[in-house]
Amino acid sequence: MSFAGNLKTVSLPDMFQLIFSSKMTGNLTVSKEKAKRQIFFRNGMLIYAMSTDEQDLFGNILLKKGRISREELNKVLVGQKGGKKIGAILVEKNLFTREEVIDCLKIQIEEIVYGLFGWKDGEFEFHQGQTPPEDAIQTEINPMNIIMEGTRRIDEWEELKKVLPSDSTPVELVRDPIIKSGELKLSKNEIVVMAIIGSGKKISTILEESFLDRFLTSKALANLLRDGLITTLKEVVEEKSAEHEQKALAELLAQIYLGNLNYIFENLKEKLGGKGDKIIQETFQTNKSYYPNLNSNFITDTGEINFDLFLEMYKKLPQEARIWKIVSSFNSLLNDYLNTVQKSLGSKVYKRLLSEVRINIQNIINRNRQLSVKYGLEEEFSRILRDREK
């Protein structure tokens, strides 16, 4: 049985109860404007979830929980291919056990679902029989427990809103707080949030850096404000650090170009063996005049890309022309290697590879939507891939 409607008329708890009691299997998709969340069930039990919100992405949750470093995550993302799920890659690379991924997956599912309890409006559809992506690691959670906790959070949120200022408000620790009861008892979450605040931060930054979810972090902040242990400061309007943005842009471009080039190289080496290494080098050396910004050692003798040289090259380029030069050089490089694949491996492999490159690029852009839109990257890459199909 499939069904659809709006959250104004049918509540999320009612839908979960129906799915659970009927032991349904399928995908519940809930959308509001550009936001979309997908909840997968098997025999009424929650098994997987997906979200377009960057904060809900599996890699970002691992970062917030301190389970992986930014450097480790970037290496995984660069090597991601064919839309393969991060959890599966982490297990393949022996960075996580399957059990550790499942534990983190449960946290991700809970945060995605709890976020939906705050939606008062939104279109929903339940697709009977639809299952998660083939390589997705799955778990099993009783949705009735989620309903109980989600309902409790809705009630508490209303009280928290009365205490908390806007996310852009800075807060700092009170140096000599007045303890009214004579004895101070702090919860573990409150201690964590106080440590994050340090010498003072905006609430939005605290929410971003906390490994607790938004609700638990906000609750700790509200308690600390009520107890007079932290105080608000005058809001300061400041633009995002240009240095931080450039660093994020470098990582984004590295994921797009280096990840897909490595994927192409792996296919050439897998299909052609030692001859693949030679073809990779010959393609680069023959056409390197078309990408003058790339060092002649950018691609090693064994057909590997030098990531450090990429970052070094990126930093040396004038900032006002950086994007154009990078995109121009790497588009030519990517185009040449796609031509090499078509010539060396045939049209069938080429079409499959082109399709997977497109999926890889779109997944990376979706994870970095704001930055991609600002610099017009999505439109640029869509144009390149359309040209390849002509």
Q: What is the pLDDT of residue 44?
A: 94
Which of 255, 261, 256 has the alpha carbon at shortest distance from 380? 256
For residue 141, the cross-strand partners are 46
**Distances 127 to 34, 43, 68, 136 between C-alpha atoms, Å:** 20, 14, 34, 18
**Do 262 and 356 reside in the same domain of the chain?**
yes
Residues 6 or more apart in contact with residue 62 via CB below 8 angstroms = 68, 73, 86, 104
Number of domains in the chain: 3
pTM assigned to the model:
0.54
Q: Are residues 308 and 174 in the same domain?
A: no
Residue 124 is assigned to a structural domain of this protein: yes
- Range(s) of the domain holding residue 380: 242-389
The pLDDT of residue 39 is 94
CA dist., res. 96 & res. 90, Å (int)? 6
Q: Which residues of 278-303 are buried (b: 16+ CB within 10 A; e: fewer)?
A: ebbeebbeebbeebeebeeebbeeeb
Last residue of a domain, one of 153, 173, 200: 153
Q: Is residue 320 part of a domain?
A: yes
In a domain, 68, yes or no: yes
- Is there a single domain that holds both residue 292 and residue 323? yes
Q: What pLDDT sits at residue 76?
A: 75
In a domain, 237, yes or no: no
Q: Which two tokens stand for residue 202?
A: 């905006």
> CA-CA distance, 32 to 14, in Å (whole number)?
19
CB 344 within 8 A of CB 268: yes
Whether residue 250 sits in one domain with residue 226: no
Q: Chain-centre distance of CA 62, in angstroms?
A: 10
138 and 195 both lie in a single domain: no
User: Which among 153, 184, 206 is the end of a domain?
Assistant: 153
Are 383 and 276 contained in the same domain? yes
pLDDT score of 328: 80
* 143 in a structural domain: yes
For residue 158, tell me if it sits in a domain.
no
| Residue 58 and residue 124 in one domain | yes
Residues 143 and 257 in one domain: no
* Position 226 in a domain: yes
**∠267-272-274 over CA atoms, to 5°?**
110
Domain boundary among 208, 232, 256: 232
The verdict on 43 and 78 lying in the same domain is: yes
Do residues 247 and 205 both lie within one domain? Answer: no
Report yes or no: 75 and 255 within 8 Å, Cβ to Cβ.
no
Are 256 and 218 members of one domain? no
User: Could you give the CA distance from residue 14 to residue 20 in angstroms, rounded to a whole number?
Assistant: 10
Q: Considering the domain boundaries, does residue 93 fall inside one?
A: yes
- DSSP bridge pairs for 239: none
Pair (225, 248) in one structural domain? no
The CATH number of whichever domain residue 225 belongs to comes to 1.10.10
DSSP labels, 300-328: -TTS-B-HHHHHHHHHHS-HHHHHHHHHH
* pLDDT per residue rounded down to tens, the chain (390 residues): 788 899 888 888 889 999 999 999 999 999 988 889 999 999 999 999 988 877 777 887 787 777 787 777 777 777 666 567 788 888 888 888 888 888 888 888 888 898 888 788 899 999 999 999 887 888 999 999 988 988 888 888 888 888 898 888 899 999 888 776 666 788 888 998 999 998 789 998 898 888 788 888 999 999 999 888 899 987 654 544 667 788 888 888 888 888 888 888 888 888 888 888 888 888 888 877 776 666 666 666 655 666 777 777 777 777 777 787 888 878 888 888 888 999 999 988 888 888 888 888 877 887 777 788 788 877 777 676 666 665
